[in-house]
């Protein structure tokens, strides 16, 4: 790697030794200094010179958001299990730390070994949301890595993007060397092997040859090897490879046997407060419910379940290794696991009387039952339940293919309230295709009916319902990828009417909480979600103007983005509205059409037309195939149970002893 790297015009020595001796005296000058210290339980620091390939893994947000990220933790562990690979983590630094680093010419560093990010072979960045793009530029600049890939030399790391937002990396294509679509467990090892071999040969052909080797595999997207041509009206004419051997389409990676990859085994335990403090086990991956707004469900197909014994073993080892007192059973729709009842009962039996509790993320209305809920709250922790009807009216739920009727919801909340729950949270979206004011106002009617039902079945008046609303953003690789995004003015106007409707109800209004975000951040997310390479100029302009942490309301500036669009896109036939509130036609080449998520484009278009006709489509887990294209195209298949297995008690440990072992250390009997 390079011996010297410029930061703000200052030459900084890029040794692989720890930067901590220089950093430590400066920590009292910043907020939450502990987030930069490292040394978490189960973290790994390897000897630099004893390894052959070195990764810096980044989640482009603050430590408190990034550390619990499941994807980064899994890759961190998968890579470090190989003795020839070193992997360390880095997160976005807050503006106060950014200033300290610049003032003292200290580069972006990892929290494990406090090594300079610019010294690694790969900087792997996991994007869960597009609003982290400006944070990538900050990290690159602090690391002394040129912002644009074309300016990098053999001395700089390969900048590689992954995560859900990598399914359309075009807005940040200028800043990336490569991107990977889909599951990362296997592909990061394959990439490491390519780098290892290339380095062992003496790095022939330099950086360009390494990227070419990655690109010809068909599983790594290298933007520099693709040219984009535009039509006079601003639409894309075509995206084509510019080098022989590079594939026309790059395909996603799909891990087909989750039981062989039971990660994380050694979960990281944060030193500072984080957004989630629990041990999370992914009980299945993928979703075929077919919600038309849901990019995660579409791009992670097919469904692949972990079996009950693997889940039990992962929970046991993870709790023992971390000491976490909450276990989250995670997936896109966890209650849909074919053996969720047995999973919940088996875990509840194991940890009955201990300090370990179980939780599910938001639960589908039609998958909830009180038996499951009682198992999850057996240790006395009965927090609020969260359901996601998404659309306020029956008509809207047909449009988005969320097959939940109002009567289904009322029956479910009645069961919950009758069995001791006092708080229910309902999640909706505003700005959905074909939405009207009436569809949004129907949310107030539904919430009022929920409160009335709760009071009736429980005989109590302390019933609460919280309505949480997010702005809808059309996403690539979904049936709504062609849809016009609603303007932020219309979204805010509808939410204002909804708030007035709830507040004006004297009988139920005080029992209903309303939480929502204004529509402006959703517009920017829409720009970044469906943008093409021209949007990279906008991102760079926003960053140069001080844009940081755009996913945080206190740091976000809509005016900054509008200004950057006007200036960076001046002279182009496109603008902010062109990328957001414009409906696309069937024949239009979309920026991500050369990136293959496995979904048949014609099937997506037909589903978009079905949504406009308010036609619902069943879940293919339980019905004949609907020809979305994933299974035959990816060589995959749906993997669901039931397996018929049962979760056994922890071997050799009595029920009482289990509770004792799992109690906090300070509370155990010293005798």
pLDDT of residue 655: 47
pLDDT bucket at 381, cuts 50 / 70 / 90: low
Is 45 part of any domain? yes
For the stretch 325-379, pLDDT in tens is 999 999 998 889 999 999 999 999 999 888 898 888 767 787 777 788 788 777 7
Q: Which alpha helices (H) appear in 462-569, and where do they start and end?
A: 488-503, 520-529, 535-544, 558-568
> What's the predicted TM-score (pTM) here?
0.93
**What span, in angstroms and rounded, lies between the C-alpha atoms of 175 and 136?**
9
Q: Is the peptide bond before 186 cis (omega within 30 degrees of 0)?
A: no
Give whole-number Cα distances, 165 to 53, 281, 588, in Å.
25, 22, 21
Quote the radius of gyration of the chain (alpha carbons, Å).
Answer: 25
pLDDT bucket at 382, cuts 50 / 70 / 90: low
180 and 38 together in one domain? yes
331 and 376 together in one domain? yes
pLDDT of residue 657: 42
Report percent pLDDT > 70 for the chain: 94
287 and 169 together in one domain? no
Contact 508, 451 (CB under 8 A): yes
**Angle in degrees, CA 624, 285, 65, rounded to 5:** 145
| CB-CB neighbours of 553 under 10 Å | 11
What's the rounded mean pLDDT across residues 578-587?
A: 98
234 and 306 together in one domain? no
pLDDT of residue 368: 75
Residue 383 has pLDDT above 90, yes or no: no
**What span, in angstroms and rounded, lies between the C-alpha atoms of 292 and 479?**
6
pLDDT of residue 213: 98
Beta bridge mates, 595: 250
Strand-strand pairing, 122-126 and 158-162: parallel
29 and 100 together in one domain? yes
pLDDT of residue 624: 86
Nearest to 526 by CA among 43, 1, 168, 210: 168
Contact 211, 222 (CB under 8 A): yes
**What span, in angstroms and rounded, lies between the C-alpha atoms of 110 and 146?**
18
Return the sign of the alpha-carbon dihedral for residues 40, 46, 47, 53. negative
pLDDT of residue 652: 44
Is 235 part of any domain? yes
**What span, in angstroms and rounded, lies between the C-alpha atoms of 192 and 52?**
9
pLDDT of residue 380: 59
Contact 530, 579 (CB under 8 A): yes
For the stretch 421-459, pLDDT in tens is 899 999 999 999 999 999 999 999 999 999 999 999 999
Contact 460, 280 (CB under 8 A): no
Q: Which residue has the tokens 């002279």?
A: 571
* CA quadruple 629, 632, 638, 643: dihedral, nearest 10: 170
For the stretch 400-418, pLDDT in tens is 999 889 999 999 999 889 8
Is 121 part of any domain? yes
169 and 52 together in one domain? yes
What's the rounded mean pLDDT across residues 507-532?
A: 96
**Angle in degrees, CA 206, 211, 214, rounded to 5:** 130
What's the rounded mean pLDDT across residues 43-60?
A: 97
Q: Is the peptide bond before 537 cis (omega within 30 degrees of 0)?
A: no
Taking every pair of Cα atoms in the chain, the longest distance, rounded to a whole number of angstroms, is 81
Beta bridge mates, 96: none
For the stretch 91-139, pLDDT in tens is 999 999 999 999 999 999 999 999 999 999 999 999 999 999 999 999 9
Is 84 part of any domain? yes
209 and 72 together in one domain? yes
Q: Tokens standing for 251?
A: 């395909």
- Number of domains the chain contains: 2
245 and 286 together in one domain? no
Q: Tokens standing for 253?
A: 């990676």
| CB-CB neighbours of 654 under 10 Å | 10
What's the rounded mean pLDDT across residues 387-395?
A: 94
Is 273 part of any domain? no
Q: Tokens standing for 300?
A: 């992670």
**What span, in angstroms and rounded, lies between the C-alpha atoms of 414 and 450?**
8
Residue 84 has pLDDT above 90, yes or no: yes
Residue 667 has pLDDT above 80, yes or no: no
Strand-strand pairing, 226-230 and 279-282: unpaired
For the stretch 159-202, pLDDT in tens is 999 999 999 999 999 999 999 999 999 999 999 999 999 999 99
Nearest to 527 by CA among 584, 586, 478, 474: 474
Contact 84, 53 (CB under 8 A): yes
318 and 182 together in one domain? no
Mean pLDDT for the chain? Answer: 92
**What span, in angstroms and rounded, lies between the C-alpha atoms of 173 and 536?**
7
pLDDT of residue 369: 78
Contact 485, 528 (CB under 8 A): no
pLDDT of residue 671: 30
pLDDT of residue 12: 38
Contact 170, 533 (CB under 8 A): yes
pLDDT of residue 656: 46
Helix (H, G, I), strand (E, B) or coil at 87: strand
Nearest to 190 by CA among 48, 71, 53, 59: 53
Residue 10 has pLDDT above 60, yes or no: no
The CATH code of the domain that includes 643 is: 3.30.750.210
Q: Tokens standing for 275?
A: 């957004």
Is 108 part of any domain? yes
241 and 334 together in one domain? no
282 and 243 together in one domain? no
Containing 237, the helix (H) or strand (E) segment is strand 236-241
pLDDT of residue 642: 87
Q: Which residue has the tokens 């976490």?
A: 324
What's the rounded mean pLDDT across residues 210-226?
A: 96
pLDDT of residue 649: 78
Q: What length does the chain have?
A: 671
Which domain does 635 fall in, by range? 278-383+618-648
**What span, in angstroms and rounded, lies between the C-alpha atoms of 311 and 83?**
27
Is 509 part of any domain? no
Q: What are the backbone angles phi and psi of residue 387, rounded to the nearest 5°?
A: -125, 155
The CATH code of the domain that includes 102 is: 3.40.50.280
| CB-CB neighbours of 367 under 10 Å | 18
DSSP 163: S
For the stretch 233-268, pLDDT in tens is 999 999 999 999 999 999 999 999 999 999 999 999
Burial class (CB in 10 A: 0-12, 13-18, 19+), 152: middle
Helix (H, G, I), strand (E, B) or coil at 556: coil
Containing 199, the helix (H) or strand (E) segment is helix 185-200
The upper half-sphere exposure of residue 25, i.e. CA atoms within 13 Å in the direction of its Cβ, equals 4
Is 229 part of any domain? yes
290 and 233 together in one domain? no
Nearest to 386 by CA among 354, 339, 426, 357: 426
pLDDT of residue 644: 84
Contact 525, 539 (CB under 8 A): no
Give whole-number Cα distances, 45 to 110, 236, 447, 489, 532, in Å.
10, 46, 51, 50, 39
């Amino acid at each position: 790697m390079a011996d010297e790297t410029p930061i703000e015009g200052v030459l900084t020595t890029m040794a692989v030794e720890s930067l901590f001796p220089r950093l430590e005296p400066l920590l009292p000058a910043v907020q939450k200094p502990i987030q930069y210290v490292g040394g978490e339980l189960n973290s790994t620091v390897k000897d630099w010179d004893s390894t052959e390939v070195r990764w810096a893994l980044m989640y482009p947000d603050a430590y408190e958001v990034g550390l619990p990220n499941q994807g980064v933790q899994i890759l961190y562990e998968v890579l470090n299990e190989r003795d020839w690979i070193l992997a360390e983590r880095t997160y976005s630094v807050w503006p106060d730390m950014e200033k300290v680093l610049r003032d003292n010419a200290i580069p972006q560093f990892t929290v494990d070994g406090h090594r300079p990010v610019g010294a690694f072979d790969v900087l792997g960045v996991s994007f869960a949301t597009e609003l982290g793009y400006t944070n990538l530029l900050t990290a690159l600049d602090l690391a002394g890595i040129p912002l644009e890939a074309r300016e990098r030399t053999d001395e700089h790391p390969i900048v590689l993007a992954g995560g859900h937002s990598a399914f359309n990396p075009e807005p940040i294509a200028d800043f990336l060397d490569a991107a990977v679509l889909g599951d990362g467990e296997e592909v990061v090892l394959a990439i490491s092997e390519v780098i290892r071999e290339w380095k062992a040969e003496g790095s022939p052909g330099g950086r360009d040859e390494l990227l070419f080797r990655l690109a010809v595999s068909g599983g790594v997207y290298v933007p520099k090897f693709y040219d984009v041509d535009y039509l006079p009206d601003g639409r894309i004419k075509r995206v084509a490879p510019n080098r022989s051997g590079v594939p026309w389409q790059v395909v996603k990676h799909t891990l087909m046997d989750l039981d062989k990859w039971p990660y994380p085994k050694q979960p990281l335990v944060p030193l500072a407060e984080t957004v989630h403090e629990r041990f999370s086990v992914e009980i299945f991956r993928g979703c075929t419910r077919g919600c038309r707004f849901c990019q995660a469900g579409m791009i992670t197909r097919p469904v692949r379940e972990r079996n009950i014994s693997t889940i039990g073993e992962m929970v046991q080892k993870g709790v023992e290794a971390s000491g976490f007192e909450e276990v989250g059973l995670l997936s896109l729709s966890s209650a849909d696991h074919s053996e969720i009842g047995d999973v919940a009962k088996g875990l509840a039996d194991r940890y009955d009387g201990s300090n370990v509790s179980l939780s599910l993320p938001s639960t589908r209305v039609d998958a909830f039952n009180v038996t499951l809920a009682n198992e999850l709250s057996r240790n006395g922790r009965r927090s609020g339940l969260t359901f996601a009807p998404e659309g306020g009216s029956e008509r809207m739920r047909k449009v988005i293919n969320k097959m939940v009727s109002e009567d289904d919801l009322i029956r479910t909340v009645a069961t919950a309230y009758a069995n001791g729950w006092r708080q229910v949270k309902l999640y909706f979206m505003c700005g959905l295709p074909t939405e009207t004011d009436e569809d949004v106002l129907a949310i107030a009617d539904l919430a009022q009916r929920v409160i009335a039902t709760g009071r009736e079945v429980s005989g109590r008046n302390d019933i609460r319902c919280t309505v949480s609303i997010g702005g809808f953003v059309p996403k690539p690789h979904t049936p709504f990828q062609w849809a016009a995004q609603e303007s932020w003015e219309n979204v805010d106007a509808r939410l204002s009417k909804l708030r007035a409707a709830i507040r004006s109800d004297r009988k139920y209004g005080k029992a209903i909480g309303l939480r929502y975000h204004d529509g402006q951040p959703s517009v920017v997310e829409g720009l970044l979600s469906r943008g093409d390479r021209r949007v990279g100029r906008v991102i760079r302009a926003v960053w140069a103007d001080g844009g940081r942490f755009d996913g945080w309301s206190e740091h976000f500036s809509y005016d900054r983005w509008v200004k950057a669009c006007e200036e960076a896109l001046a002279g182009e036939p496109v603008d902010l509205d062109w990328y957001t509130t414009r409906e696309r036609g069937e024949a239009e080449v979309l920026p991500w059409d050369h990136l293959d998520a496995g979904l048949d484009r014609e099937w997506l278009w037909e589903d978009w037309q079905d949504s406009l006709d308010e036609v619902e489509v069943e879940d293919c887990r339980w019905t004949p195939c609907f020809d979305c294209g994933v299974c035959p195209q990816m060589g995959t298949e749906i993997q669901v149970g039931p397996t018929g297995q049962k979760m056994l008690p922890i071997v050799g440990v009595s029920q009482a002893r289990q509770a004792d072992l799992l109690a906090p250390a300070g509370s155990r009997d010293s005798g």
